[in-house]
Amino acid sequence: MKKALKIIGIVVAALLVVVIAYVAYVLIAYHRLGNGPLTVQGTAESAQAETDRDYTIVSYNIGFGAYEADYGFFMDGGTQSWAWSRERLDANLKKIGAFLKEQNADYYFVQETDTDSTRTYHVDERPYLTDALSGKSYTFAQNFDSPFLFYPFLQPHGASKSGLMTFAAQTITAAERVELPIETGLTKLVDLDRCYSKNRIAVAGGGELVLYNFHLSAYTSDGTIATEQLKKLIDDMEGEYAKGNYCLAGGDFNKDILGDSSVYFGKADVLYTWAQAIPAGTFDGMHVSLVAPIDTTAPVPSCRNADSAYHPGQFVVTIDGFMVSDNIEVLTAVPIDTGFAYSDHNPVRMQFRLTGK
């Protein structure tokens, strides 16, 4: 009996050492990437943007290429932690690239593009996009460089490297990665290293078009950090507008930018609280306004909660959209209904023009 208890004690002690070592590894390996310049690549169709000309932009969170319509992610209440298979990942990324090319937009903001992640078999997903969107200048801003997450135990999520890709029909003259605030507690270990990508394009006649690509926090304790991130982004846009520049931001707010999406899409069979409304007054007195894509005649959400395969009654919401400065006129802004075939998000599309001085 004593021998059995001793063996059990040794096993428990060994497991405890492993757990402590793993926790120490995660805490020590955690780091933030900071601010810095981004490398501009690709060859654009023209050198400058123009005023009083119609342009189109598409923003799309591609869910690291894994969120097909039958996919449920473990952090959203589902069971999957990797893409279904490398073969299905490859096929889905090709479909995403083809879809974006068909949009024939002037600008693209893409979020959750993996470069070297366990969950996506260490496939660099950037070439799928750059090959499809040739004739554009582009940048990549990394916003995820996580240590190995040993959960779920049967298929650990692993380590992840991912980021934001911005494409433009004109030459991006300069670009930078700007760090956003994140929570300081243990929640930061499951969040991205939040940032936004800031890209500059010369405008004929003077000034610059400043493009902001972002992906705000979702997995937070109370949602206030995402609001702080949004305020920092708006302040940056206000500063550029004061210099005479045109400011356009787009991406994943991780907030219900319709205020209450259930008004348009109905109540879900399971309700979630992670997509809070943007606090009232956020844009009061600002030269920046929110553009929430919606077609009221045929409402389409921009995101589903991937707690299971996509089905009628699943929690859906619009969290993807744009912000523009007062010198940009918005012509249309609508989600594109893909039926969540390639991602847990539907892309959103906006037509606009720079109105001049």
Q: Which tokens belong to 132? A: 């499809």
Instruction: Write down the pLDDT at residue 192.
Output: 64
> Does residue 38 contact residue 197 with C-beta atoms inside 8 Å?
yes
> Does residue 33 contact residue 195 with C-beta atoms inside 8 Å?
yes
Residue 41: DSSP 8-state: B
Residue 13: helix, strand or coil by DSSP?
helix
Q: Could you tell me the sign of the dihedral formed by the alpha carbons of 264, 265, 271, 274, in that order?
A: negative
Q: pLDDT band at residue 212, thresholds of 50, 70 and 90?
A: very high
Instruction: Write down the pLDDT at residue 220.
Output: 61
Query: CATH homologous superfamily of domain 34-354?
Result: Endonuclease/exonuclease/phosphatase (3.60.10.10)
Helix, strand, coil content of the chain in percent (nearest 5): 25, 30, 45
Q: Tell me: the pLDDT tens digits for 253-299?
A: 999 999 999 999 999 988 888 889 999 999 999 999 999 999 999 99
The pairing of beta strand 328-335 with beta strand 54-61: unpaired
pLDDT at 188 over 60: no
Return all residues near 289 (Cβ < 8 A) that are at least 6 apart. 283, 323, 324, 326
Instruction: Write down the pLDDT at residue 185.
Output: 64
Return all residues near 281 (Cβ < 8 A) that are at least 6 apart. none
- What's the mean pLDDT in 188-207? 86
Cα 55 to Cα 289: distance, rounded to the nearest angstrom: 18
- Does an H or E element contain 28, and which? helix 2-29
Closest C-alpha among 304, 316, 276, 319 to residue 68: 304
Instruction: Write down the pLDDT at residue 71.
Output: 97
Query: CA 318 → CA 42, 115, 210, distances in Å?
Result: 32, 27, 24
Question: Which residues are paired to 141 by β-bridges?
Answer: 164
Instruction: Please state which of the ranges 43-52, 267-276, 319-328 shows the lowest mean pLDDT.
Output: 267-276
Cα 82 to Cα 159: distance, rounded to the nearest angstrom: 11
Instruction: Write down the pLDDT at residue 271.
Output: 83
pLDDT at 26 over 60: no
Return all residues near 130 (Cβ < 8 A) that are at least 6 apart. 41, 42, 138
- Does an H or E element contain 146, and which? strand 137-149
Residue 94: helix, strand or coil by DSSP?
helix
Q: Tell me: the pLDDT tens digits for 95-113?
A: 999 999 999 999 999 999 9
> Does residue 200 contact residue 208 with C-beta atoms inside 8 Å?
yes
Q: pLDDT band at residue 19, thresholds of 50, 70 and 90?
A: low
Q: Tell me: the pLDDT tens digits for 144-179?
A: 888 878 888 889 888 899 999 999 999 999 999 999
Residue 52: DSSP 8-state: T
pLDDT at 191 over 70: no
- What's the mean pLDDT in 202-210? 97
Q: What is the DSSP string of 297-342?
A: TS---SEE--SSS--TT--EE--EEEEEETTEEEEEEEE---TTSS
pLDDT at 186 over 70: no
Torsion of CA 22, 28, 29, 31, to 10 degrees: 140
Instruction: Write down the pLDDT at residue 184.
Output: 74
**What pTM, to 2 d.p., does this model score?**
0.93
Q: Tell me: the pLDDT tens digits for 305-316?
A: 999 999 999 999
Residue bearing tokens 């693209």: 108
Cα 34 to Cα 318: distance, rounded to the nearest angstrom: 29
Percent of the chain with pLDDT over 90: 75
Instruction: Please state which of the ranges 201-205, 225-229, 257-261, 286-290 shows the lowest mean pLDDT.
Output: 225-229
pLDDT averaged over every residue in the chain: 91
First and final C-alpha spacing in the chain? 87
